[in-house]
Amino acid sequence: MVEVKERPAARSEQANRMAHSFHKIGVIGAGQMGNGIAHVCALSGYHVLLNDIAIDRISEGIATINGNLARQVSRQRISDEERQAAIKRISPAKTLGDLGDCDLVIEAATEQEETKRKIFAALCPSLKPETIVGTNTSSISITRLAASTDRPERFIGIHFMNPVPLMELVEVIRGIATDNPTFEATKQFVAKLGKQISVSEDFPAFIVNRILLPMINEAIYTLYEGVGNVEGIDNAMRLGAHHPMGPLELADFIGLDICLSVMQVLHEGLADSKYRPCPLLVKYVEAGWLGRKTQRGFYDYRGDKPVPTR
């Protein structure tokens, strides 16, 4: 029996149909990344269902989106009519089952593989067979996450940069089983959001974090070894390399727990000692000093202005 292969043109038409049929987007996680993704999707005309483990978190996420939209209005980037229309497109989804009629669901929960696997196990039975599942993971294997679902061919990495409404880039990552229509439909969806795409192979931390996080980790080693203090290191990179933020300030912005998680993925996945997380980073995370979100990290944010903690 001769296998009849699908023609590239047919695959492209299927991808176009899938992308054009995206009407409702589910977002799992109403934190900084999740509410940012919901924000840009709603502003681009999609109806969005926002889910989190507690209704209070969803309400806080929607309030944050409204505030960020208002900030865009004040800076004349959008009109107030666009703000009102966007916020009306966002609805709370109290349970994962409420996402059942979404055409695309993007998971933006905490950067822990076991947590993500549990979410996918609970989510997939409620979805339509044709629904695409995306993950906003910044470092974890797409192939491995896809294998924990009932639709590895319709599973893909869609890694937004933080803060989502401002950053232009989205990394798109195929797992080994991701089919071409899913890949093409995802690229068209990202383009509709007004973002630029970087396609990455499915290797630990992809492109941006493969380069960025070791730099941040090295800055923490520089602090740990006493080469410079917090202000000296950040000023050196701001003024000497024209970085908009110093690496320690950036680490606080990202979240030191996220930085540690990505470095652990790199260290374990690539088995190279150059990716070993700095012991000082580990200590800060153990102390619960995670950066801006906990008011203390390499800087203390509890006063009128940030003060270095070392």
Q: Which residues are catalytically annotated?
A: 138, 159, 171, 209
Residues 6+ apart with CB under 8 A from 206: 138, 139, 157, 159, 171, 173, 200
307-308 and 299-300 strand pairing: antiparallel
Per-residue b or e along 259-288, where b marks 16 or more CB atoms closer than 10 Å to that residue's CB: bbbbbbbbbeeeeeeebebbebbeebbeee
d(CA 51, CA 98): 9
Strand order through the sheet with 169-174? 90-93, 47-51, 24-28, 104-107, 132-135, 155-160, 169-174, 196-200
Q: For CA atoms 167, 208, 64, 117, give the dihedral sign.
A: positive
Which uninterrupted H or E stretch holds 231?
helix 230-240
Say how far apart CA 230 and CA 122 lie, in whole Å: 43
Q: Which two structure tokens, joined as six digits, stand for 138?
A: 């910044």
Q: Using an 8 Å Cβ cutoff, are 280 and 224 in contact?
A: yes
Q: In angstroms, what CA-CA distances link 145 with 103, 115, 119, 175, 261?
A: 19, 11, 11, 9, 16
